Amino acid sequence: MGTVIKGKPVADKITDSLREELRGFEKLTKIPRLGILRVGERPEDLAYERGATNRCKKIGIDVEVKTLPMDVTQEVFIEELKAYNTDSKINGILVFRPLPEQINEEVIKYVIAPEKDIDCFSPVNVGKMVEGDPSGFPPCTPTAVIEILEHYDVQVEGSDCTVIGASMVVGKPAALLLMNKKGTVTVAHSKTKDTKAVAENAEILVVAVGRGKMVKKDWVSDGAVVIDVGINEDEDGSLCGDVDFEQVKEKASKITPVPAGVGSVTTSILAKHVVKAFKKQHQIE
């Protein structure tokens, strides 16, 4: 039976190390600050905002939240975003997406200042991710996947990795980050003829589809490391991942649970990116 690899130890380690690092900045009068821009009151946004705020507080990062009504115009939204861009107290900006339909994300992604864009909204940061440029900010969730693999000593270099799901939010960036770590990466998606075969071939299997318990025992090779990014509601109302955890943990060597897996690391990556942006903006090395 495989080891269940939880997110909390990873998040705790990052949190501790950031808190320690910030102590070293005490001589500075400035404090890293995250600016959140939220339109409306979607429950999942509010939940993430709560988690991110708590995480940042623990570390010593200030959080400022600007909320806008659901019918806000694109002009006003851009004004508020630009105000964050130019506010020297704000080091990192998080924009909750999707934005309401009257606001064109294709326009907004060019407005956010790339050096404050801590969750990879700007094409500049997408480009840096492809190039493996360490000065950029890859998106938080796929970065959490990499942090978990590193924390639990899973070697990516040279390993056969399969990513199921090719979304811009998780699948594609996870594939690119694994490639940057020199994994041999295959990406499967809705048009893949035999996803099971592709999954079976993996030493590291990352699943980000959004379909509860889709990955069964016979999809996973013996001893594979399984990272489950999905969060779905089960028939009984409880949360479950894209992987059938009870079945697959018998075969995997390591497996993340849902909840308490990848999701619990994401906000510490966000905090890490705020501190990285802060250091860059204040020329701290």
What single string gives the DSSP state of each residue in 38-57? EES--HHHHHHHHHHHHHHH
Least distance (Å) between residue 177 CB and a copy of itself: 12
Least distance (Å) between residue 60 CB and a copy of itself: 32
Longest Cα–Cα distance of the chain, Å, equals 58
Whichever of 22 and 95 has its CB closer to a copy of itself, that residue is: 95
Whichever of 89 and 211 has its CB closer to a copy of itself, that residue is: 211
**Site for a copy of itself, rule CB under 8 A:** 106, 110, 122-131, 133, 157-158, 160, 166, 168, 172, 176, 179, 182-193, 198
Least distance (Å) between residue 270 CB and a copy of itself: 20
Whichever of 123 and 223 has its CB closer to a copy of itself, that residue is: 123
Whichever of 192 and 221 has its CB closer to a copy of itself, that residue is: 192
Least distance (Å) between residue 260 CB and a copy of itself: 30
Whichever of 133 and 246 has its CB closer to a copy of itself, that residue is: 133
Instruction: Give the distance from CA 114 to its chain's centroid.
Output: 17
Least distance (Å) between residue 127 CB and a copy of itself: 3
